[in-house]
């Protein structure tokens, strides 16, 4: 049995000119983990791919208490394989 946990945190800094995004990706497969910074386009593509595959999703989101222009969203996916991988 293989289990996967993917956590994506997206912080949006909203401005009148253009928004800026910080995206942080954390992955864990059977206890081995990796983390890295990715761009917003890669984050959006990842979200749609995992949604399409039907992975269980939990989403939390909130605005920064000090500035309504800073918005953070965390998406967490969990998937367990029983030895059979469906792509």
Letter string b/e over residues 33-44, b meaning 16 or more CB atoms within 10 A of that residue's CB: eeeeebeeeebe
pLDDT at 68: 74
Residue 37 banded pLDDT, cuts 50, 70, 90: very high
pLDDT at 86: 52
**Residue range 49-77, pLDDT digits in tens:** 888 888 878 888 888 777 878 888 898 88
Q: Three-class SS of residue 49?
A: helix
The rounded mean pLDDT for the chain is 84
Of 4-8, 21-25, 64-68, which range is least confident? 64-68
Q: Which residues contact 43 (CB under 8 A, 6 or more apart)?
A: 8, 10, 21, 23, 25
Every domain of the chain and the residues it spans: 2-81
The structure's pTM equals 0.77
């Amino acid at each position: 049995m293989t289990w996967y946990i993917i956590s994506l945190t997206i912080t949006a800094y909203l401005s009148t000119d253009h928004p800026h995004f910080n995206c942080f990706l954390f992955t864990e497969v059977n206890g081995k983990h990796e983390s890295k910074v990715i761009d917003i386009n890669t984050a959006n593509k990842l979200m749609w791919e995992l949604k399409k595959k039907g992975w269980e999703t939990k989403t939390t989101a909130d605005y920064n208490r000090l500035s309504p222009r800073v918005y953070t969203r965390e998406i967490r996916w969990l998937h367990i394989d029983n030895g059979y991988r469906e792509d």
